[in-house]
Structure 1
Amino acid sequence: MKNVVKIMALLLMLCSVNMEAQIFKKLKKSVERAAEEAVIRKTEQKVNDETEKAMDSILNPNIGSKDKKKRNKSSKQKGNQDDETSEDNYNLNEENGQNNFGVYSKFTFIPGNKLLFYDDFAKDAIGDFPANWETGGSGEVVTISNSQNKWLSLVRRSGYLPTMENTLPENYTIEFDLTNNGYGEPKSFSKLNFLFMTRKAYVGGRGGTLAEVEILLSHNGFNVRKVSNFGGELDTRVGSTINRNIPDYLNNTVHISLAVNKKRLRMWVNEEKLVDSPNLIQANIGRYFIIEARDVLPEKGHFVGITNFKIAESTEDLRSLLLKNGKFSTTGIYFDTAAATVKKESYGILLDIANMLRDNDGINLQIVGHTDNQGEADYNQTLSERRAEAVKQILVDEFGINEGRLQFMGKGETDAIDDNTTVKGRANNRRVEFIKI
């Protein structure tokens, strides 16, 4: 019996040892597997990090250089920071939205550089239809209580066509201020159509093959509703519903910016791009532009008006002009009336100038302000200097360009490039010039 007990105890001990060995083997495998998984995770993370860096370098080639410069800057003493450092700081701040231009820091519209048409209705009599426009309906020049400008009042069912000697080119921009009021009552609404046509007409139905952007004004808000084209010359029919409703723009004033680049149409309302249609302008669409009002009814309290209307051809970009001619000028930097305050819708062109300077370290610029001949010569001289200085200071303070690369001066009304007796000529003369030094 004792022998049996001993044998059983021995068997139990062997089983225990075997179980412990199996457990140890399992534990060992588990540890090995965990270690292996940790290595795999670490490797995967490294691969992911490297992939992200590679993609960033493809999609945004400046990121790597910025990080490198940022590391280099941290190793320098503050007193030894060079000119490039301040411009790099701006790049980093810009990405974080630190900019006094606010929401306009995302505004990418750049106006054309060759002015084709301009009208602010300053020389038109109140109550008359403006001299530089055509319509098959009616309308008149008016003033409104909260604005120093004159406005063309759009009424009922009328189309409004700017009078131009030639058809519109392949690449151009259109800008204007648009105001509306009287849209508080339910079931009270009007439509505006921005029409790009192949034939001269005062209504869309007679404009041939065309493209349009439709805006609805109602008690619900300011609604950019749809983008479409139609007609017999189309290769591809486009019909897009947008329905971007912005209540804050109702009974208010907004800035409209349109850009036609061959087949592509883009539209901004204030700083926000609401339309970007790459194949909308086909065949001969876009040779004429009209604004068509539909059911804008004064007897119901409706008011819709436009002012500061500008069409400009987009030719060579400013970098090409500067390298080829040593200078370029723009009418796309806007100021408050009789003041040196730069308007926020100037952001796109100022950013383009700043980027050109960052990309070309050897280029320094003299900024020259010009005015038309309205007002006293001494006043215009001072105003041109103040405006040139304001542009310089914005490039320094807001865009991080080193101040030593910029000079400024004003020439007032002394260097006119166009006829000061016409509205378009005066608009051409009110410009900012950039000269390579």
Structure 2
Amino acid sequence: MKIINLGASLSIFLFLFCIGTHNCHGQFLKKLGQRAENAAEEAVLRKSEQKVTRETEKAMDTILDGNKGTKQQKKSKSQETQNDANASVEGDDGQTPQKSESNTNVLKQSEFGVYSNFTFIPGNKLLFYDDFTADALGDFPANWETGGSGEVVNTNVSESKWLSLIRRSGYMPSMEDKLPENYTIEFDLSNNGYGSGKPISKIHFAFLTKKAYSMDAGGTLAEIEILLSPNGFNVRSVSNFGGEVDVKIGNEIDREIPEYLNNTVHISIAVNKKRLRMWVNEEKMVDSPNLIQANIGKYFIIQAMDVLPEKGHFVGISNFKIAESTEDLRSLLLKNGKFSTTGIYFDTAASTVKKESYGILLDIANMLRDNKDINLQIIGHTDNQGEENYNQTLSESRAAAVKQILIEEFEIDEARLQFMGKGETEAVDDNTTEKGRANNRRVEFIKIN
């Protein structure tokens, strides 16, 4: 099994720093002893938690706090009337769905904090998704193409699988069709092994006019350059070039964030005709209204430059998603009476709503504020991974979490919202593929009277 130890370089640094003095050396050994004690305690706790999980598999009593990772103890304002709201929700067969404990114990989500300025809205038609779960460790992923090399790995700080980017390779998702005029791209980007005395690396997000595995062969293109150096994670520049460009763009951004070095960030990119915007976590780093010209943007690659594993470098991507942006939510709701989104994200096997969901939730809240006559039923759906009863409970908990956030974060009247879960029973795509399962993990909104 291929495991990247992201803590190794930090441990070596601490050891060399502390070895110079007897006092520091003693502190270092003391910390090691404390870590050993903590590890033993955590092992006992994990066994206890696993036992409890098995015994309560069919009920989810709490929604975890998304900011602190702990259970909220404060009862929500709407909890007392939750059962009455659910009693009026009927399923497709006209029967009132059974209530689970998760429906009656909805706890307040944490505030979104700095993400309150995050306005990214993911596309509503999924075109590509890959979290590498179907790929063997050590192999190059089946749904990607490259002219260089790379492999799927695990790390010691994440349960996700990652595509490890190395040397001077370009990586392109395998898609039958060219990218549309309006689309979004999202993925997690992890880096480690950078610092004092280490060589720098560059990562390019490139938008090409023709299919190629490197920027040099991609024809007219646009690119965003990220520099990984001892000073930090630096969104360095945005530019376009080539014979088909009418207006040449070349902007130095030089936005350096030290805390993103040797860390994991979430990248969100929105292309709307000529305009390109990019967020790193909650902060919008790029907003270029004329970057995508001619036929730029029909293909997307991630180009690694001087990512050197032998020097301790690690750069990886995971949870990669491309979606087309079609009609806005209000238009879909008025035309079809419903819409669904795969852009509300939850922790794995949990109902904690991730902060990256803020943009789509804000859009839904604004639509409700602007249309006082619209009430919504929120329906959670899952893929078929896991037991059917568990998925049913999970879908209910996730729908309840979305409702609670709309009430408490965005001050939507509780009387306008109902929720239910349908588990894995209404799949809209093939559960045998990663893209299909991602399509089935969705939240649906239906207009009700």
User: Is the structural similarity TM-score above 0.5?
Assistant: yes
- The equivalent of 1:388 in structure 2 is 399
Which residue in 2 is equivalent to 1:179?
190
111, 122, 126: which one aligns with 1:115: 126
1:236 and 2:236 aligned: no
The aligned counterpart of 1:15 is none
Structure 2 residue corresponding to 1:397, chosen from 389, 408, 416: 408
3-state SS, counterpart of residue 211 of structure 1: strand
Q: TM-score, normalised by structure 2?
A: 0.75
Are 1:358 and 2:369 an aligned pair?
yes
Amino acid at match of 1:311: I
2:278 matched to which residue of 1? 267
* Residue 310 (structure 1) aligned with residue 310 (structure 2): no
Tell me if structure 1 keeps the 8 A contact 2:228–2:234: yes
- Cα distance in 2 for partners of 1:272, 1:341 equals 22
Q: Secondary structure at the match of 2:290?
A: coil
Instruction: Return the letter of the residue paired with 1:396.
Output: I
The aligned amino acid for 1:323 is: L
The alignment status of 1:194 with 2:205, answered yes or no, reads yes
1:281-335 Cα distance to aligned partner (Å, 9 max, x none): 0000000000000000000000000000000000000000000000000000000
- For residues 239 and 388 of structure 1, the distance between their equivalents in structure 2, rounded to whole angstroms, comes to 44
Paired amino acid for 2:400: E
Offset, 1:245? 0.2
| Alignment partner, residue 62 of structure 2 | none
Instruction: Give CA deviations for 1:378-407 in whole Å, capped at 9, x if unaligned.
Output: 110000000000000000011000111000
Q: What SS class does the counterpart of residue 169 from structure 2 fall into? A: strand
Deviations 1:358-391 (A, max 9, x none): 1111100000000001111111000000000000
| SS at structure 2 position matched to 1:141 | strand
For 1:291, the equivalent position in structure 2 comes to 302
Question: Quick check: 1:366–1:407 contact (8 Å CA) kept in 2?
Answer: yes
Rounded Cα–Cα distance in structure 2 between residues aligned with 1:399 and 1:187: 45
Aligned twin of 1:329: 340
Alignment match of 1:157 (pick from 168, 172, 185): 168
Aligned-partner Cα distance in 1 for 2:369–2:223 = 38
Question: Sequence identity, in percent?
Answer: 81
Indicate if the aligned counterparts of 1:196 and 1:211 stay in contact, CA closer than 8 A.
yes
Higher helix share: 1
Which among 130, 149, 155 is matched to residue 138 of structure 1? Answer: 149
Partner of 1:377: 388
> What residue identity is the alignment partner of 1:105?
S
Q: Indicate if the aligned counterparts of 2:198 and 2:311 stay in contact, CA closer than 8 A.
A: no
> What is the Cα deviation at residue 187 of structure 1?
5.1
Q: Distance in 2 between matches of 1:344 and 1:397?
A: 15
Determine helix, strand or coil for the equivalent of 1:388: helix
**C-alpha offsets along residues 103-145 of structure 1, whole Å, 9 cap, x if unaligned?**
0000000000000000000110000000000000000000001
The CA distance in 2 between the partners of 1:248 and 1:393, in whole Å, is 32
Shift of 1:188: 1.5
> How many pairs were matched up?
339
The yes-or-no answer on 1:420 pairing with 2:435 is no
Residue matched to 1:338: 349
Asked if 1:221 corresponds to 2:232, the answer is yes
Deviation for aligned residue 1:184: 1.4
Query: Which whole-Å CA distance do the structure 1 matches of 2:436 and 2:165 have between them?
Result: 25
Higher-Rg member (1/2): 1
Taking the aligned partners of 1:187 and 1:223, their CA distance within structure 2 comes to 16
Structure 1 CA distance, aligned partners of 2:199 and 2:316?
Answer: 17
Whole-angstrom CA distance in 1 between matches of 2:436 and 2:254: 39
Match of 1:436 among 416, 422, 447: 447
The 3-state SS of whatever aligns with 1:157 is coil
Q: Please say if 1:102 is aligned against 2:126.
A: no
What amino acid does structure 2 have at the position aligned with 1:218?
S
Letter of the 1:429 counterpart? N
Tell me what 2:219 maps to: 208
Residue 49 of structure 1 is matched in structure 2 by none
Q: Which runs of 4+ in 1 moved over 4 A?
A: none
Does the CA-based 8 Å contact 1:186-1:218 persist in structure 2?
A: no
Deviations 1:24-58 (A, max 9, x none): xxxxxxxxxxxxxxxxxxxxxxxxxxxxxxxxxxx
Contact 2:130 2:318 in 1 (8 A): yes
Residue 438 of structure 2 aligns with an amino acid whose one-letter code is A
- Calculate the TM-score normalised by the size of structure 1: 0.77
Cα separation, 1, equivalents of 2:203 and 2:172: 14
Q: Which SS does the other structure have where 2:133 is aligned? A: coil
The aligned amino acid for 1:280 is L
Matched position secondary structure for 2:245: coil
Secondary structure of 2:318's match?
A: strand
Residue from 230, 243, 265 that aligns with 1:254:
265
Distance in 2 separating the partners of 1:184 and 1:410: 47
Match of residue 96 from structure 2: none
